[in-house]
Structure 1
Amino acid sequence: MKITIIGTGYVGLVTGACLAEIGHDVFCLDVDPRKIDILNNGGVPIHEPGLQEVIARTRSAHRIRFSTDIAAGVAHGDVQFIAVGTPPDEDGSADLQYVLEAARNIGRTMDGFKVIVDKSTVPVGTAQRVRAAVEEELAKRGLAGSDEHGFSVVSNPEFLKEGAAVDDFMRPDRIVLGSDEDEAGLRARELMKRLYAPFNRNHERTLYMDVRSAEFTKYAANAMLATRISFMNEMANLADRVGADIEAVRRGIGSDPRIGYHFLYAGAGYGGSCFPKDVQALIRTASESGHNLRILEAVEEVNDRQKDVLVRKITAHLGEDLGERTFAVWGLAFKPNTDDMREAPSRRLIAELLRRGAKVRAYDPVAIDEARRVFAIDLHDEAEQLARLTFTKTQNDTLNGADALVVVTEWKAFKSPDFVHLKSVLKLPLIFDGRNLYEPEAMAELGIDYHSIGRPYAQPSQPPVDPSGHA
């Protein structure tokens, strides 16, 4: 089948590459010439494991192309995937300007029946707005109601985890398709069924429903996962106070099949492009409908507060004034296997350390370039603070001259460091672990002063001496 993907971000690029991988003829469209130039020169504008290899294979097989030519993109695909960004607006609602502009572009140039697929994460009712935008453009062309220029809008939300998006797409646990029950909708459903047929050969993974339910499903899924994370962070904060071990608690409750282990890890808060934005958007949707989502309002509040948990632990141990301190920070991206810095807990942590006068030496395996960009924006009015932020080439380089290590992202490279070397280089054998990567008792035996989240503190075998003279 001929497919057009509008938007070459995480969702669009992964969707286009994977559909080309299973044999479809894919046209990837983007209005950003920089992205298209990168792709046409063999690069990939995002970090996603396995994606570059899939694109290389499908390009050599002539099953994928990249262009800024809107008319050519609309003409190419019988199925038009809208996979553009839906950033949060000032009031927390999803900004649909790019989705609706993509819909208008389709209406301006389409010729023949089109299935228009909302792949972007969009609030309930967006398909109706997309339909209206297309119809408006067709009316301008004098083609409103034309059978020859018929179309149907389908909701097909994505369920991709950054860092594992290719595998998630190629081995989906479910495919959600929302369509209308009219003639055009049934025709669209048959085309989408053909499109996804390779994924349903062993067993049926597709869930068919109405459009609004499909739109709602995506938000509900992300809201549930965000709720689990904030719940465990609340429990971890209480565990700190009562002396319980949140890791033991996690195993205890996760063994219940009604609960399970997924998304039950305590940490420094969630970030990224989905959970913060989608929770806010769902809260806003409820508000516009005259309803309050008390649980999700609490989830958002807990997560916002949790992003300061490491700073609270640091200042409780070293004092509010960090002007003579240097911190090594391991991990900048909001999660491993991505360079995504959107809503990353590291941004709040580093900003607070710098505001309190500290110097920061930071490292991430893939997110350094993106981190330079976002901190230049975050601190554009704080040149003196920005000057105290250094990005290093290796994780060990961060330790040079540092008083303490702060772990923010659970990259595999950080899970088994050389603790003997780490202890010898740090001014203080002091670790603040925002992802509970290490065992408190093992750290204590090594003489490392180790502070995690929701786990009992173990006194180091050799109490550290602060060379600065601070208590």
Structure 2
Amino acid sequence: MKNITVVGVGYVGLVSAACFADLGNCVTALDINEERIANLRKGILPIFEPGLGEIVERTMRAKRLFFTTSYEEAVKDAEFVFIAVGTPEGVDGEADLQYVRMAAESIAKAMTQPLVIVNKSTVPVGTGDWVADIVRESQPSPVSFSVVSCPEFLREGSAITDFFNPDRTVLGSTDMDAAERVAQLHLPLRAPIMVTDLRTAEMIKYASNAFLATRISFINEISNICEALGADVKEVARGMGYDKRIGHHFLEAGVGYGGSCFPKDVKALAHMAQVHGRHPQLLQAVMDINAFQRHHVLTKVETLLDGLEGRTVALLGLAFKQNTDDMRDAPAITIAEQLHAQGAVVRGYDPVAMDVAKRIMPYLDMCDDPYVLAREADALIVMTPWNEFKHLDMKAVKEAMRTPIMIDARNLYEPAEMRDLGFTYRGIGRGYDGSSYAG
């Protein structure tokens, strides 16, 4: 059993702390937000993530997971300190490292014995060296330490599965002994462990997210060409995916990517490239296509309604993806804002994200269920592909609407089935229906 401290109890930090505790380690999770820590001690989580609540409760009961706001308390017996604080987007697209700096300074002031400091936050290339300098400069008296980069690859909605079944663990350090010690923490996960230098490890995270975002923007570009030519992008993606060099993952056309990672990480990587005199044309195209997809969905509904003033538009799903309440850069925010700005009455329903969404979009009329959402609506836009939406009584949804117009921005439904029910249906790149292009 190792003594581990995790700084930050946001998405990555809380999942990492709970899962390391579930592996049998003694973990102290620290955050300077007193209300959040007080709630966690009562078992109230700040995020929705399937399975996380059960692990937090189990490991707290077993006295392997503790919560504190005190660096002195958290660091005094620690062998490893993971920095898992937020790195929000800065003014020019760069990652804002103010919370990383605060964490590094506070760790330095509290440490009294040698530590391995592990960067878990997604940070720009070179941050590991920068953190080492901050710790060295902030120590009241010299105490030995090492810095290891260990980027996270957790998907919201399946983070527990991802933690315990990773594709790989990436570690970067100039101290191979420290990297080996962090590797030992991950051995129970029985996944490949790659050890490299600090900057390469940091770059692997950005390159991975940028590539996945590129796949999403690529298939969305193809979907728009499919709409022009009468092909079905879902079938195109399926045919592409059988090629082992391509695969099926992240080839789902829709309203584009959102969330806390892809938008800011692609921007941050492009910013790093530009600062160093490179020209990230592909990354810029990825971002442009993603922004266009939201505009594309708005154009579809505006065209079908022949204007938005006074119309009631219902958003089915609000979170940026299913199985999370995360609204960070959710496409629904952009869509709702533009609908509202053009005079539409905007309603919303989401299984778990409505409380978060209401704080961001106070003008949104929240509904108790999808059938209330549909009542007297002029159009319905499918924004989040929750599994439960696949099993709705779509005949009842259609009958509740004033005009049964559906914009399926996630290609959740089959066009022919929806048209047979009486919907005026538009998906994303869904081909030709015999009389008109169906995109």
TM range (shorter): over 0.9
| CA deviation after TM superposition for structure 1 residue 189, in Å | 2.0
Alignment partner of 1:193 is 2:169: no
In structure 2, the partner of 1:146 is none
Alignment partner of 1:235 is 2:225: no
**8 Å CA contact retained: 2:7, 2:103:** yes
In structure 2, the partner of 1:58 is 59
Q: Secondary structure at the match of 1:153?
A: strand
In structure 2, the partner of 1:115 is 116
Alignment partner of 1:334 is 2:335: no
State the one-letter code of the partner of 1:151. Answer: F
- Deviation digits for residues 341-363 of structure 1, max 9, x if unmatched? 01100001111111111111210
| CA deviation after TM superposition for structure 1 residue 457, in Å | 5.0
Alignment partner of 1:211 is 2:198: yes
| CA deviation after TM superposition for structure 1 residue 125, in Å | 0.2
Alignment partner of 1:22 is 2:46: no
1: CA distance, partners of 2:34 / 2:214: 38
**8 Å CA contact retained: 1:327, 1:361:** yes
Q: Secondary structure at the match of 1:342?
A: coil
1: CA distance, partners of 2:433 / 2:335: 24
Matches within 5 A, 1:24-173: 24-138=25-139, 141-143=140-142, 149-173=143-167
State the one-letter code of the partner of 2:189. Answer: F
- Deviation digits for residues 372-425 of structure 1, max 9, x if unmatched? 11114xxxxxxxxx2xx3001111110112112110000011112212211211
2:335 to 338, 344, 349: 349
Q: Secondary structure at the match of 2:431?
A: coil
State the one-letter code of the partner of 1:248. Answer: E
**8 Å CA contact retained: 1:106, 1:134:** yes
In structure 1, the partner of 2:170 is 176
1: CA distance, partners of 2:220 / 2:92: 26
Alignment partner of 1:288 is 2:289: no
**8 Å CA contact retained: 1:440, 1:456:** no
In structure 2, the partner of 1:438 is 413
1: CA distance, partners of 2:432 / 2:246: 28
Alignment partner of 1:369 is 2:355: yes
2: CA distance, partners of 1:231 / 1:71: 48
2: CA distance, partners of 1:325 / 1:3: 54
Alignment partner of 1:396 is 2:371: yes
1: CA distance, partners of 2:39 / 2:433: 50
Q: Secondary structure at the match of 2:76?
A: helix
In structure 1, the partner of 2:404 is 429
**8 Å CA contact retained: 2:156, 2:324:** yes
**8 Å CA contact retained: 1:405, 1:430:** yes
1: CA distance, partners of 2:128 / 2:186: 21
Q: Secondary structure at the match of 2:391?
A: coil
2:425 to 421, 446, 450: 450
| CA deviation after TM superposition for structure 1 residue 75, in Å | 1.2
Q: Secondary structure at the match of 2:81?
A: strand
After the TM superposition, list the runs of 4 or more consecutive aligned residues in structure 1 that deviate by more than 6 angstroms: none
Sequence identity (%) = 47
In structure 1, the partner of 2:253 is 266
State the one-letter code of the partner of 1:114. Answer: L
State the one-letter code of the partner of 1:455. Answer: R
**8 Å CA contact retained: 1:199, 1:205:** no
1: CA distance, partners of 2:157 / 2:141: 46
Larger radius of gyration: 1
1: CA distance, partners of 2:185 / 2:371: 48
**8 Å CA contact retained: 1:230, 1:269:** yes
Deviates most, 7-16 or 392-401: 392-401
**8 Å CA contact retained: 1:440, 1:457:** no
2: CA distance, partners of 1:76 / 1:35: 23
In structure 1, the partner of 2:389 is 414
**8 Å CA contact retained: 1:29, 1:73:** yes
Q: Under a length normalisation based on structure 1, what TM-score does the superposition of the two structures give? A: 0.90
| CA deviation after TM superposition for structure 1 residue 442, in Å | 1.5
State the one-letter code of the partner of 1:441. Answer: A
**8 Å CA contact retained: 2:371, 2:400:** no
2: CA distance, partners of 1:237 / 1:350: 22
Q: Under a length normalisation based on structure 2, what TM-score does the superposition of the two structures give? A: 0.97
2: CA distance, partners of 1:38 / 1:395: 31
1: CA distance, partners of 2:369 / 2:305: 26
| CA deviation after TM superposition for structure 1 residue 106, in Å | 1.1
2: CA distance, partners of 1:104 / 1:26: 21
Gaps of at least 5 residues in structure 2 are: none
| CA deviation after TM superposition for structure 1 residue 459, in Å | 7.2
1: CA distance, partners of 2:176 / 2:308: 64
**8 Å CA contact retained: 2:232, 2:432:** no
In structure 2, the partner of 1:246 is 233
- Deviation digits for residues 293-349 of structure 1, max 9, x if unmatched? 110011011111111221110112112x31231112100000000000011000011
**8 Å CA contact retained: 2:312, 2:346:** yes
Q: Secondary structure at the match of 2:413?
A: coil
Gaps of at least 5 residues in structure 1 are: 144-148, 377-385, 461-471
Q: Provide the aligned length of Structure 1 versus Structure 2.
A: 434
2: CA distance, partners of 1:118 / 1:397: 46
1: CA distance, partners of 2:276 / 2:220: 30
Cα RMSD over matched residues?
Answer: 1.2
State the one-letter code of the partner of 2:110. Answer: T
**8 Å CA contact retained: 2:171, 2:183:** no
- Deviation digits for residues 269-300 of structure 1, max 9, x if unmatched? 11000000000000011011111111001101
State the one-letter code of the partner of 1:119. Answer: K
1: CA distance, partners of 2:296 / 2:322: 20
